[in-house]
Amino acid sequence: MVIRTVDLRSDTVTLPTKAMRAAMASAEVDDDVLGFDPTATLLEAEMAKITGKEAALFVPSGTMANLISVLVHCNVRGSEVILGDNCHIHIYENGGIATIGGVHPRPVRNNEDGTMDIGLIEAAIRDPGGEIVYPTTRLICLENTHANSGGKCLSVEYTDRVGELAKKHGLKLHIDGARIFNAATALRVPVDRLVRAADTVSVCLSKGLGAPVGSVIVGSASFIAKARILRKTLGGGMRQIGILCAAGLIALQENAGKLKHDHKNAKALAEGINQIKGLKVDVTSVETNFIYFDIEEGSNMTALKLSKKLEEYGILIMFENSSRSSSKITCLFVCFQIPPTHETVILLGCLSGFDLLHTIRSRRGTCSTQYHA
């Protein structure tokens, strides 16, 4: 029996709130393929406004948002796209840009902070003089925040520099902004300033913002018009989507402001974990809502064992690898659905078999905590 579930696997596990469910139940809807769903239109207008782009398009997932963006920018056969070797598009999207879209990826090394060296990017741009043997570079992709580096933010300055480089060579710039609101919160820069240099951005509603489904692509009106068709082609042309978009609107209104609490919680959890003997985390590298921690060599614990033990207590985590005794574990904070941090830290301390370092403080009330019997 489990008293409660603390799901730290990902921020995609966020469940819809009461306000969202109410909004979904009463949403004004229409056929978004034959015409335009009014609630979807509202959401798309809102997203365009927030990001400072001309238009927007609701899509079922972040994967489809990136896939559509890359394929529309690279709609001529023989295209190549420069992206980080540790970015989501390259690692976790089934290689779709190639297998589905016929676009050639050109991965460039991601630094630990999620950036790629500007010099290396420039060197990766294909010389049109070599077109007899080269594909044609058309696009550069950035990811902000960069998940695999631990949710690191790309600064405005860096983004602008990459944008200038793209312009200089006649390329487009796409930002995989699945967690762009986390970046905006951590950097204290408005989203539209953060993505100004980009031609297009994909933004997830179903992660930290907490909507049940969906992402939004933003860009120019002509881009979005093409994206709409490709969305239909890929099978993302859904009908009465106002239901999902209503939840998305609530997410934007209510939960974008809560992200700073997630970041505070993440920092607190990281500091707590760091004090546990046998676990190691670089607290300064926790910028947003991601934590990676390692199990030190020499301890008997492996990530697999730890995750099983934690599961008995109702805490769910994801691990990167467990074959070595030093293993990386991810903890992701879920917007407003995680209880006060010290309880999780206490449990981690117990289970890793080392001294308890935190005392239990009285709990404050939490909202929407999921209890599972």
Choice between 52 and 135, CB closer to other proteins: 52
Residue 220: CB minimum distance to other proteins, A: 10
Residue 322: CB minimum distance to other proteins, A: 18
Burial class (CB in 10 A: 0-12, 13-18, 19+), 238: buried
Choice between 100 and 350, CB closer to other proteins: 100
Tally of residues, the chain: 373
- DSSP 8-state secondary structure symbol assigned to residue 144: S
Q: Residue 323 — left, alpha, or beta (φ > 0 → left; ψ -120 to 50 → alpha)?
A: alpha
Choice between 11 and 80, CB closer to other proteins: 11
**Residues 339 and 366 sit within 8 Å (Cβ to Cβ):** yes
Choice between 235 and 365, CB closer to other proteins: 235
Residue 14: CB minimum distance to other proteins, A: 8
Residue 234: CB minimum distance to other proteins, A: 5
Angle at which helices 259-274 and 180-187 pack, to 10 degrees? 80
How far apart, in whole angstroms, are the C-alpha atoms of residue 207 and residue 201?
Answer: 16
Distances (CA, A) of 219 to 70, 98, 214: 12, 22, 17
Choice between 33 and 350, CB closer to other proteins: 33
Residue where the block lists tokens 């050109």: 106
Residue 316: CB minimum distance to other proteins, A: 9
